[in-house]
Structures are given as C-alpha cells and as structure tokens.
Structure 1
Amino acid sequence: MAIETFGFCPRVNPEGAFTQRTRSIQFGDGYTQRAGDGINGESQSWPLTFVGDDDSIQPIIAFLRRHKGYMPFRWVNPLAELGLYCCPDGFNVTAMGKNSRGDQVFQLTATFVTAYHP
C-alpha cells in the first residue's frame, strides 16, 4: 500500500508535545552524563479535534480505519513540517446534536504520533 497523505483540517489551536529520548548515568560525585538514545531521538504527539456533519467526519473515520492505528501516513503538522505519523490509540467520535439545518454534528478526536519508516 502506498503511503497516503492525511489532508483533513483539524480545529484551531492544537497543542503538540515534543519528546526527546535520552539516556543518562549518574556518577557518585554528582556528575550526570547524558546522550541521545537512537537515531530517531525525537517524537511528536498531536491531539487533534475535527467537528462537522456526517459528510465531513465519515471520510476521516474511513481514513483512520484504513490505517488501523499502525500504518504510517503523511501529514503536515501545524508547524508546517511534513512527516510520517500514525494514530496508535484509535479515535473517539461524539454526537454533538443537530445544527440549525437539522444535520447531526459530530466531534472526532484523535492523537497523531510520529511514525518512523525503515
């Protein structure tokens, strides 16, 4: 399967978490030596929210189901950086009621995490 691009627009103000993986060793004299751990030492996590009617939420659900939580996809994060991500913890959908036209409105939440491709 070719790597797809996630092109749906989340709600504004997502807050990303950046984690650097390090190793450290503490010596008896108080000195601590630190080093990076592995070639992919930084990971990102982006909790995202999407709101819309059935016609706008169903394609997002189909995309996330197709990638099954482990298959990577391309996504441009809010910092305009293109990267590989996956959605390992699944997603949640909440029915929010109906809008003024009588259409059911949904909220979908998902967290995208950096994925690495060998």
Structure 2
Amino acid sequence: MAIETFSFCPRVNPEGAFTQRTRSIQFGDGYTQRAGDGINSESQGWPLTFVGDHVHIQPIIAFLRRHNGYTAFQWVNPLTELGLYCCPDGFNVTALGKNSRGDQVFQLTATFVTAYHP
C-alpha cells in the first residue's frame, strides 16, 4: 500500500514541539554523562487547526479516519521538512455556527506526531 500525503492547509502559526529523548547517569563526583536514547531520539508534535465549511472539513476527517491514528502518512511541516507523521490522539471537531451564506462552519484540531515507520 502506498503512503498517502496529507496536503490540506492548516491555519497560520502552528507551534511545533521538538522533544529529544536522552539518557543520563549522575556520578558521585558531580559529572553527568548524557547520550541520545535510540536511533530516533527526536520527535515532533504539531498541533494544527483547520476551519471551513462541511465541504472543506469532510475530506480532512475522511483522511484522518482512514489512517486510524496509527498509520503513517507523509506531510510537509511548516519548516518545509517532508516526514512521516501520524495522529495518535485523534481529532476534535467543533461547530462554530453559520457563515454569511448560511453554511455551517467547523473547526477541526489535531496533533501530528513524528512516525518512524509506515
């Protein structure tokens, strides 16, 4: 199965969190030795927000449901780095009311997290 690419555009100013996993040991003389924990010691988390009517939001919901929170997909993060991500904590949809045309407007929030395998 081919890896899909997430190509929907989120709202501006997403804030990514970069986490480095390390191991350390403290010695009696005050010296601390640190090393990376595993070959993939850095992970990223990107909380994203999408706003639009049903026609705009429904394909995003379908994409995220198709990947079930654990299947990886390609995505270009705001730093323009292509990588594998998943959405392990699900997503939230909020009905915001109607726009000037009378269409229901929704807000979808999801956090994309680095995945290291398809």
**Same fold judged by TM-score > 0.5?**
yes
For the aligned residues, what is the CA RMSD?
0.8
1:62-90 CA distances to partner (integer Å, 9 max, x unpaired)?
00000000000000000000000000000
Q: Give 1:29 deviation, angstroms.
A: 1.0
- For 1:8-64, what per-residue CA distance to the aligned partner results, in whole angstroms no more than 9, with x for missing partners? 000000000000111000011111000011110100000000000000000000000
Unaligned runs of 5+ in 1: none
Distance 2:100 2:19 in 1: 42
Alignment pair present for 1:89 and 2:58: no
Q: Distance in 1 between matches of 2:67 and 2:80?
A: 22
Amino acid at match of 1:79: L
Percent identity over paired residues: 90
- Name structure 2 gaps, 5 residues minimum: none
- Aligned residues, how many? 118
Q: Is the counterpart of residue 63 in structure 1 residue 56 in structure 2?
A: no
Q: What does residue 36 of structure 2 align with?
A: 36
TM-score by length of 2: 0.98
For the residues of structure 2 that align with 1:22 and 1:75, how far apart are their CA atoms?
26
Query: TM-score scaled by structure 1?
Result: 0.98
